[in-house]
Structure 1
Amino acid sequence: MKRLFKYIVIIYALSSLIVAPLVLSAGQAFAETKKGTDASYIGAGVAAGVTSGGQGINDDATFGGNITGRMKLGNTPFSARGNVLWSDQTSAIIPELSVDVPIANRTNAYLTGGYSFVEKDGSPTPIGNRDSVVLGVGVESEVANNFLVYTNAKVGLGAYQNSDASAVSINGGIGYRFK
């Protein structure tokens, strides 16, 4: 088993030496055309909790929906964001601030930080069953005139009652640009 692991590490290291120059040269050419998006939008889609708190009472992974909004903050790389993630029992309201990074024409990657306010503590949402600090990462892209698609992953730190477990939610949807 150790020998197999050693060979995998060697193959990975050698392939990295071959692939890295290709990726870096492609990235340099790509950097000349990237613009990102400055769209302020509102969108709706699905939200899937992929973790549980491990206690078995109102802390299972939960499927639901999301409403997401983004307001670009001037000429800065920051945006104010708001999310509502809901299940069939309650919802979580998550105000966030993000750092937006242009990665392609009309496309941003972003990192977020915020706080989740669960309306009914103890009831499951896709981001846990109690209030918590939330960190996230996502991508948004304008795909047509005034329309965007977005996807993100959020982690609610210690987001379950009676558990130190963190909640992970995967979200995605379609947005309409209003500015």
Structure 2
Amino acid sequence: MRSLQSVAMLSGLAALVVSPLFLGAGAASAQTAPRYDRSYVGAGISGGVLSGGRGNDDTSFGGNVQGRFAIPNTPVSARGSVLFTGDNSAIVPTVTYDVRLNDKSNVYAGAGYSFVQNGGVTSPIGNQDAPVLTVGVESQVAKGVVVYSDAKYGINAYRGSDAGALSLQAGVGLEF
């Protein structure tokens, strides 16, 4: 049953990742309209909401430090996250495709990889290194200030289990 849930979660996230590629009808108008293209670094909360079903892989709550580097003149961004608890952390570099909502907001989807610092110990994104899919939203709320929220799904992110890890993040960042 857990494998079926993982496949369903992975399929849903994969659909969100590739759906911007099929939204070509609005692409021409999006190219001429201003879009949110600022880079930022922020911090906030993080929670792992799935477990691997074995000992030492329970759900977890902690924090995150995230950054976005907007690649000029493209809808692509390079992102990096550190998801941490009191016991462990994971570094998650990611490349995303960003879709403009308005001149101050984007939704994004992409892929990356989590590097768990202390293998076998639970982090918000599992207890072993794994490929990661991500979807999220970001919005400038004041000059120089952005809020962000995303979900990261680690594929086979637990040792001794084929279970995936789902981590939810939210935070506030400062633009540069």
Residue 43 (structure 2) pairs with residue 44 (structure 1): yes
- Name the CA distance, whole Å, in 2 between partners of 1:142 and 1:63: 26
Shift of 1:74: 1.3
Distance 1:133 1:126 in 2: 14
Give the equivalent residue in structure 2 for 1:11: none
SS of alignment partner, residue 140 of structure 1: strand
The equivalent of 2:53 in structure 1 is 54
For 2:151 and 2:113, locate their aligned partners in 1 and report how far apart those are by CA, in whole Å.
14
Measure the CA separation in 2 of the matches of 1:66 and 1:112: 18
2:93 corresponds to 1:99: no
The residue number in structure 2 matching 1:72 is 70
What does residue range 27-42 of structure 1 map to in structure 2 within 5 Å? Answer: 35-42=34-41
Residues 11-160 of structure 1 aligned to structure 2 (within 5 Å): 35-55=34-54, 57-160=55-158
Q: Deviations over 1:5-60 (max 9, x none)?
A: xxxxxxxxxxxxxxxxxxxxxxxxxx8xx7431110000000011000001x1100
CA distance in 1: counterparts of 2:42 and 2:94, whole angstroms = 15
Structure 1 residue aligned with 2:26: none
Q: How many residues align?
A: 147
**SS of the residue aligned with 2:52?**
coil
Q: Distance in 2 between matches of 1:47 and 1:54?
A: 20
2:58 and 2:52 map into 1 onto residues whose CA distance is 7
Q: Percent identity?
A: 50
Question: Deviations for 1:62-105, whole angstroms, at most 9, x for unmatched residues?
Answer: 00000000001110110100000001111000011010000123
Q: Does the 8 Å contact 1:96/1:112 carry over to 2?
A: yes
CA distance in 1, matches of 2:148, 2:34: 17
Give 5+ residue unaligned stretches, structure 2.
1-29
**Aligned partners of 1:35 and 1:107 also within 8 Å:** no
Q: Which runs of 5 or more residues in structure 1 are unaligned?
A: 1-30
Greater C-alpha radius of gyration: 1
Q: Normalising by the residue count of structure 1, what TM-score does the alignment of the two structures yield?
A: 0.79
Please report the TM-score for the alignment, with normalisation by the length of structure 2. 0.80
CA distance in 2, matches of 1:170, 1:70: 17
* SS of residue paired to 1:79: strand
Counterpart AA for 1:124: T
